Amino acid sequence: GEAAETARELGVELVRGAEFTAMLHGAEIHILGYFPSEPNEVVRAHLAHMQAERRKRLQTALERLRTRGIELDSRALPAAPYCESLTTTHLAQALAAAGYASSSRAAWRRYLSRGQGIVPTFEVTAKDVIGVIHSSGGLAVWAHPDRQHLQRHFGELLAVGLDGIEAYNGRRGGDV
């Protein structure tokens, strides 16, 4: 709401967006949804459901960490301004801050990466996420794919409605 008001005042077009998490052949990927207007109820319901799932996922991860002798309270997780749900990135930061790892990256590798059994996976498919985005007239863009996944799965995602790929991401260090 605040962004829409500011955009009107400045005379610029606002493109609303959200980053969705989805599963593709056992790997977690992210799909950006860009919306020409306020997202519809299907999108809002999906996002609300995923936020609830993230909260459950985080609690499950905290419980599984406790069984390994790691005591973290969800209140120890860092504040996430402008982010409505905490993620495993926030959990990695908390693990590092509590001294269980030397850095967030080390915490991720040691406790949170696939195969560690700490973080449950999402069950929403990329095809389903693309459908949710399209239900509101949005564009579905594959966020920061690595070259290997891009080469292997681009055609498949294109066939189920993918509209584009994010070709540059500063956090990932460059072009796809």
pLDDT of residue 169 exceeding 70:
no
27-42 pLDDT, tens per residue? 889 999 999 888 999 9
pLDDT at position 55 = 85
pLDDT at position 173 = 53
Q: Which residues contact 131 (CB under 8 A, 6 or more apart)?
A: 161
Would the pTM count as exceeding 0.75? yes
53-100 pLDDT, tens per residue? 888 888 899 999 999 999 887 776 665 555 567 788 888 988 998 999
C-alpha–C-alpha distance, residues 90 and 117, integer Å:
18
6-22 pLDDT, tens per residue? 999 999 999 999 999 99
104-118 pLDDT, tens per residue? 999 999 998 888 888
Question: And the tokens for 56?
Answer: 């459950």
pLDDT at position 171 = 59
DSSP secondary structure code for residue 129 in this structure: H
Q: How many residues does the chain have?
A: 176
The band of 120, judged by pLDDT with boundaries at 50, 70 and 90, is confident
The band of 170, judged by pLDDT with boundaries at 50, 70 and 90, is low
In this structure, are residues 140 and 33 in contact, taking their beta carbons and an 8 Å threshold? yes
pLDDT of residue 149 exceeding 60:
yes
Residue 21 main-chain phi, psi, to 5 deg: -100, 140
pLDDT of residue 26 exceeding 70:
yes
Proportion of the chain in helix, strand, coil states, percent, rounded to 5: 45, 15, 35
Q: Is the pLDDT higher at 163 or at 28?
A: 163
